[in-house]
Amino acid sequence: MGYEWDFGVVLRDFDLLLWGLVNTLKVTGLSLLFGVPLGLFLALWRLYGGRLIRVPVGVLIEFLRTTPPIAQLFWFFFAMPILLGIEIDPFQASVLTFSLQSSAFFAEVFRGGIVSIDNGQWEAAKAIGMDRNASLRRIILPQAVKRMVPAFLERAIELMKTTTLVGTISYADLLYEANNIAQSTYRSLEVFSLAAGMYFVVIFACSMGVRRLERHLGRTGETTTG
């Protein structure tokens, strides 16, 4: 009955797991890099675009938010290349999917933050002669962004958790490497436990950071969650 734990064979491949973790962070980082600015634009289009822009952007955001990420990933990896007649590798498909997927959530964080700013701020900005772009850039966004920081970081952590899907299209992230090692060493209990532990260390550290920051920012205004 007693199971003999043996981390020896698994630790021999530890560098593979570490490379997997690097790849996980790479996909997460790049998706954030594209997803956050795109999210800002989506939010602005949804709030201030004409009807012809507002409605389709709203539909796009809702669609990206309500379909499972794995369905999106498969669509971009298996369907889109045929449709457009292009070639796309797992890494590109992953970054594309998670940039778009996260941008929809970031858009809602941006929107919540912008809407939460009191109307008087807009009026004050107008009164000193600013047009809408200038008031948005100089008055509204700087205040809104401060309120959004915790919600942003929470979304970023969610994003990192979601990127575990990339293994399903054979991109060598941490979970994919763990699965490979489990198959070659027959030590799936040790490998998957170790991989889960690695995810936990990274994600828990981020969560603690977010919580500290939240406390630090204090009650300067209610935060918006996506």
Partner 1 sequence: MEHAWDFSAVFTNSYLLLIGLKNTIILAVVCLVLGLFFGLFVGAARYSTRIVFNWPATAFVEVFRNTPVLVQIMWFFFAFPIISPFDIDAFTAATLGLTLNTIAFSSEIYRAGIQSIHRGQWEAAKALGMNYTNQMRRIILPQAIRRMIPAFMNRAVELVKMTSLASVIAYGELMYQAKTISTIEFNPIEMYTSVALIFFVLIFPLTLFVQRLEIKSKGRG
- Looking at the Cβ atoms of 66 and 119, the one nearer to partner 1 is 66
- Looking at the Cβ atoms of 141 and 177, the one nearer to partner 1 is 177
- For the bound state, the minimum distance from the C-beta of residue 191 to partner 1, rounded and expressed in Å, comes to 8
Residue with tokens 């970031």: 106
- For the bound state, the minimum distance from the C-beta of residue 209 to partner 1, rounded and expressed in Å, comes to 12
- Looking at the Cβ atoms of 47 and 130, the one nearer to partner 1 is 47
- For the bound state, the minimum distance from the C-beta of residue 142 to partner 1, rounded and expressed in Å, comes to 25
DSSP count for the chain of H helices, then E strands:
11, 0
- For the bound state, the minimum distance from the C-beta of residue 203 to partner 1, rounded and expressed in Å, comes to 4
Backbone phi, psi, residue 128, to 5°: -95, 20
- Looking at the Cβ atoms of 79 and 124, the one nearer to partner 1 is 79
Render the burial of 34-45: b for 16+ CB within 10 Å, e for the rest: bbbebbbebbbb
- For the bound state, the minimum distance from the C-beta of residue 15 to partner 1, rounded and expressed in Å, comes to 20
Contact 163, 27 (CB under 8 A): yes
Cα separation of 18 and 69, whole Å? 25
- Looking at the Cβ atoms of 133 and 170, the one nearer to partner 1 is 170
Q: Indicate left, alpha or beta for 28 from its phi (over 0: left) and psi (-120 to 50: alpha).
A: alpha
- For the bound state, the minimum distance from the C-beta of residue 151 to partner 1, rounded and expressed in Å, comes to 14
Q: CA separation (Å) from 182 to 76, 169, 178, 225? A: 28, 18, 6, 37
- Looking at the Cβ atoms of 138 and 161, the one nearer to partner 1 is 161
Cα separation of 129 and 196, whole Å? 55
Residues that bind partner 1 (CB under 8 A): 3, 62-63, 65-72, 74-75, 78-79, 82-83, 85, 160-162, 164-165, 168, 175, 179, 182, 188-189, 191-193, 195-196, 199-200, 203-204, 207
